[in-house]
Structure 1
Amino acid sequence: MRRIIYAWNYLEWGGAQIHLLAIIKEAKKEFDVVVVLPEGSNKQFIKFLDEEIVEYEFFKGHVTVEPVRGLMKKINKHRKKIKSERALVRYLEKFDLADNIVHIDLSPQQSIAALMRLSWRTRVFITLHNALPAVPKWRDRLWKMKFGAISHFKNFRVFCSNQNAKNYFKRYFTEEFGNTIEVTYTSINPPEIDAAISENINRQEILEKYNLPSNKFLILCVGQFIDRKGRWTFLDAAKKVCEKTDDVLFVWVSNSKPNAEDLKKADDYNLGENFRLITSDEIGSERMDLFRVFRLADVFTLPSFVEGLPISLLEAMALGIPSISTNVYAIPEAVKNLETGILIEAGDDEALANAIITLKNDDRLRKKLSKNGREWVLKNFDEREAARTAIVAYKESLGVK
C-alpha cells in the first residue's frame, strides 16, 4: 500500500494540525499513514493521534515559531529554522519516498530549499491557510520568484484551506500552476458535533470543575493566547462590558500556557472573577472535554487580526453558539454579518463590546444567529468532503484511481 507522510517541525499545535488530522482520518482508509513531528510535541495532540490509531515518529530539531526581537535573536532563529528543516528532510529521506507522498507544513517563501529537495525525490503537498503579511516590494518580488520556481516541479502540489487563500496565492504561482490549486476547506466533523450536542451535561458541575462562577452570561474564545488572535482586543472589550454590567464571564481557552509577562498584563485589567484563562491541559485530552466547555458559552468570539478559516469558530457555530469574529481573510466565508454571526473590524474593542452587549440583550437575535450559523457550517464545512478532495488529488499524483 502506498504511504503518505505528514510532517511539520514545530511544537505548537492548532488549527493546521486539526485540519490535517481530518484528512488523515480518511486517508488512512486507503493509504499507509505516518506522522513525523519533532520531539517534545504537545502530549494532547499525540493523544489525538493515538485515539485515531495513527502511526507517528519523532525527529530531533524543532523550530521556534514565536516572534523574537533584536537582530542577533532573529539571526539565531533563522539559523535554527534552517537546521530544523535540514533535520526534518534528512529524517524523511530515510523512508522509501519514490512511490509515496509527503504532505508537509512548510511554505515556499520561507522554506524553498527544503521543498525543492523533497520535490526532486517524491510527490510533495502543502496546505496554505492565509495571506502573507505586508512586506516591502523587494521581498514580495523575491517571494514571487520562489513560488514561481517551485511551480515548475511536477511533483509539487498545493491545497488551500479556504477560497480566500486560493485567490490570494494564485498570483504568486505561475498561472498554469495556480489553476491546479484545490480548496480543502477547514471543516468540522458533523457526527462529532452532533454527539456533543446530544450529550446530557451538568452545567454546574463543569463550571465548578474550572472554578467558574455560576449565573453569568459566558463569552468564550478558543485559540492560542497570542497577539494575532486578538487577545488584548478581547480583554479591552471585556473591560468595557464589565463597566456596564457585572453579570458576565469572559473565558479564553488556550492550547499553551502564556508566559509570565503576558499573564501579568492580563491581570492588570483587574477583571477579577469576570475573566478566566484556561489552558487545554486543564481540560483534558478528549475532544468531547473541549466541547463541554464550548457548551457553557452563551456567545463565542474570536477577534483575530490574522486568520485563515479558524476551526474553533466553525465548531462554535456548528454547536449553535452565536458567534462574533473579524472581517479578515477567510472568516467572512463562514460569518455573514447579522445572518450567520456578527462581523467586526479587527482591533475594534468598542465594536466587540457593543456586539456582546447586543447579543446579551437580544434573545431573538441570538436564536437567529445560532440557527443560521449552525446550518451554514454543517452545509458548507464538512471535513469528510475536504478529505475526499485531498484523497482524489493524492491519487491523481500517483496515477491511480
Structure 2
Amino acid sequence: MEKIKILMLGESLDRFGGIVSVEKLIMAYAPAEIEIAHLATLPDGSTIRKILVFLQALVFLCSRLLTQEIDLVYIHVSERGSAFRQAITTTISWLFRKPVILHSHSADFHDFHTNLPRIIQIGLSWVFCKSNRFIVLSHSWKKFYVENLGLKPEQVIVLPNPVKFPSAIPQRIDTQKVILLFLGRIGERKGSFDLIYAFAAIPVAQKQNVELIIAGDGEGQRARDIVEKLNLSQYIKILDWVNELQRNELLEKANIFILPSYNEGLPMALLEAMSWGLPVITTPVGGIPELVISDKNGLLVNPGEIQQLTKAMQSLIENETLRLSLGNAAREAVSPFDISKYSARLGAIFRQCCEDKKV
C-alpha cells in the first residue's frame, strides 16, 4: 500500500503540555501506511524567536506544497496566537488545494472568540470552514463550533484525546498514607490555588496521613508562597514539570487525582490518571462531563467552589472502598481511548480525507 504523507503542524516537541503529548503519541503510534513529518510553528523562547520560527515554518510549508511532497496538511490549533498562526497555515494549504485537517485542543476558545471584533470572528470562521475535517475533543465542543463558527456537522469529528494505557497498575489496598496528585500547568485556570485553599480547610487530624503533590510548569513559585503562608509545607509538595517517567512514578504511588479546572478541552492529565486506575476529583467543564460521571467513575465539583472541593477530598481520603471503586470504573471508562484504537481511527480519517479530495 502506498504511504500517505502527512505534514503535521503544531507546537515544538520540546515544549510542555497536553498538545505536545498528543503530537508525540500520534507520531509514535501512527499506522504503518501513514508517514508523518512534524513542522514546529511555536517554539519556546522570546517573541522574536517565535516569530522567526513561524516564518521559517511558512517557508518550509510552501516549499513542500510547491513540490507536491505531501498528501495532507494536519494542523493542531488552540486559541489566541495559535488561532491566528494556524489560520495563515490553513489558508496557504487551501490555496494550494491540499486537504487540510484542523485539530482543536482549545480549553477556552469560546471566551477568546466572544471577545474578538466581529470582523475577525468572521475571518476565523471563513478559514476554519475551509478545512476538510475539523477534529474536536467532545460533543459539547462540536456543538460550539457548528453553532458559532458555521462549520457543517458532518465536517466536525469528535475524537477524544488518546492515552497510553498502562498494562498493570498498583492495588492501592490498605494504604497507610493517602497521596493526592495534581498534574498540569499551575495557575488560576487549572484551579491550582483553589486546590491549596481547599486542602487547607481539611481538619488537621485528617491531614496527618495525607500528602498533596502539585507538579507542573506555570506559577509554581506563587503556589509555594501560598503553601508557606498557610503553614502547609509539611503536607504539600510543589514540583516543576515532570517527564514521562517521573509522571508515571507519581501516578503509580498516588491514590487520588485532582484537577479543579475552570476551562478545559479534554485534559491529557485526567485521561492518564484515569488509565492508572485513580479516582478523580474534577469539574464539569469542556469535555469532562462526557467522560466523568459523578459518584460512578469520579467526583465532580463546581469550579471555584472551595468548600465542595474540600468535602470531595475528605470523602475519598476517609473511604478506601470508594476510592478503589471509582478508580476501577475510571480505568474502564478510558479504555476506549487507548492509543492503538485512537491511531486506527485517526488513520481512517486521514485516508478518507485524501480519498474525498481525489473524487
Classify the TM-score, shorter chain: 0.7 to 0.9
In 2 relative to 1, CA 242–280 (structure 1 residues): closer, same or farther, beyond 3 Å?
farther
Q: Which has the larger displacement, 269-278 or 155-164?
A: 155-164
1:79-98 mapped onto 2 (5 Å cutoff): 85-96=54-65, 98=68
Secondary structure of 2:329's aligned partner: helix
- Does structure 1 retain, via aligned residues, the 8 Å contact 2:224–2:238? no
Deviation at 1:384, TM superposition (A): 2.6
Structure 1 position 127 matched with structure 2 position 103: yes
**1:278 alignment counterpart:** 239
Paired with 2:110 and 2:95, the residues of 1 have a C-alpha distance of: 29
**1:5 alignment counterpart:** 7
Paired with 2:58 and 2:182, the residues of 1 have a C-alpha distance of: 36
Structure 1 position 366 matched with structure 2 position 348: no
1:2-401 mapped onto 2 (5 Å cutoff): 2-9=4-11, 12-27=15-30, 29-37=32-40, 62=43, 85-96=54-65, 98=68, 99-106=70-77, 109-111=83-85, 112-121=87-96, 122-129=98-105, 130-134=107-111, 139=116, 141-142=118-119, 144-151=121-128, 153=130, 156-176=132-152, 178-190=153-165, 193-195=166-168, 197=169, 215-241=176-202, 243-245=204-206, 246-254=208-216, 256=217, 258=219, 260-261=221-222, 263-281=224-242, 285=243, 287-378=244-335, 380-399=336-355
- Does structure 2 retain, via aligned residues, the 8 Å contact 1:318–1:374? yes
**TM-score (normalizing by structure 1):** 0.75
Aligned residue-pair number: 344
Q: 2:28 is matched by which residue type in structure 1?
A: K
- Does structure 2 retain, via aligned residues, the 8 Å contact 1:9–1:84? no
In 2 relative to 1, CA 138–124 (structure 1 residues): closer, same or farther, beyond 3 Å?
same
- Does structure 2 retain, via aligned residues, the 8 Å contact 1:106–1:115? no
Paired with 1:250 and 1:351, the residues of 2 have a C-alpha distance of: 17
In 2 relative to 1, CA 179–144 (structure 1 residues): closer, same or farther, beyond 3 Å?
farther
Secondary structure of 2:133's aligned partner: strand
Unaligned stretches of 5+ in structure 2? Answer: none
**TM-score (normalizing by structure 2):** 0.83
State percent identity of aligned pairs. Answer: 20
Paired with 1:383 and 1:167, the residues of 2 have a C-alpha distance of: 25
Secondary structure of 2:340's aligned partner: helix
**1:46 alignment counterpart:** none
Could you say what the CA RMSD is over the residues aligned between the two structures, in angstroms?
Answer: 3.2
Paired with 1:322 and 1:187, the residues of 2 have a C-alpha distance of: 19
Paired with 1:140 and 1:385, the residues of 2 have a C-alpha distance of: 40
Unaligned stretches of 5+ in structure 1? Answer: 39-60, 65-75, 202-213
Paired with 1:137 and 1:257, the residues of 2 have a C-alpha distance of: 25
- Does structure 2 retain, via aligned residues, the 8 Å contact 1:103–1:126? yes
Q: 2:76 is matched by which residue type in structure 1?
A: D
Q: 2:94 is matched by which residue type in structure 1?
A: S
Paired with 2:36 and 2:270, the residues of 1 have a C-alpha distance of: 28
Paired with 1:152 and 1:326, the residues of 2 have a C-alpha distance of: 31
Deviation at 1:332, TM superposition (A): 0.9
